Amino acid sequence: MTKRLFDFFLALSGLLISLPIWFLFGILIWIEDENHIFYSQERVGKNGKIFKIIKFRSMVTNADKEVGPLQAKENDTRITRFGRILRATALDELPQLVNILKGEMSFVGPKALRMVEIDAGDKTPRSIWEFKGAEQRLSVMPGLTGVAQILAARDINRTEKFKYDIWYIKHQSFLLDLYIIFISFLVTFRGMWERRGNKFTYLLINFKKKVESEL
């Protein structure tokens, strides 16, 4: 209950404060290619419930048409010029404050994934349930940020990323959530979301060592 109340009021405050930014981003996204401003996609939530996330569009239209449901990677050619700024700061995910208000997401938790994805280093689409640790991971609310999001390198496979999520599930607490949110703000202000993981250990070295020693 404490987590839900915290999520609701922080999301509501963030939404009200950020509204002018929404208009600015909408104009800049439209100017680049005169196409959709928002991007909606079905994701898997707690206990396998399907919901639609809302994001500012950071990729070209129909980005998955040729490559399929491939997870984003560093220097992804599908990302637009303004989209690179959005992804570096994670501000493409700002509209997910609406998902948090609706109770479909939390501020902190495992990343909400698609039902079927092409894993890093793979070519075949696989159901999210096929990856080791999926059932345990889907026992909690997905998050806007989380341990895997701030510590795991973008290009490692799902099974390895899930280990970070499972660590969070085992150790979750209100204080841990506050710490992860604080770290996430720092990463956003430095525009380092696309270069996290091993390239970002100078800020997270103690936390990273603690987590990875227990994976």
Using the structure block, give the residue that is written with the tokens 């991007």.
39
Count structural domains, the chain. Answer: 1
- Report residue 54: phi and psi, to 5°: -120, 130
Please give the chain's pLDDT, 215 residues, in tens: 789 999 999 999 999 999 999 999 999 999 988 888 998 989 999 999 999 999 999 887 766 665 555 566 556 678 888 888 888 888 999 999 999 999 999 999 999 998 888 777 677 888 888 888 888 999 999 999 999 988 887 778 888 889 999 999 999 999 999 999 988 888 887 767 766 554 555 556 677 778 888 88
Residues 93, 55: Cα–Cα separation, whole Å: 5
> What pTM was computed for the model?
0.84
Domain of 131, in residue numbers: 2-213
Contact yes or no for 53/112 (Cβ under 8 A): yes
Using CA atoms, how far residue 68 sits from 110, 128, 202, in Å, is 22, 15, 35
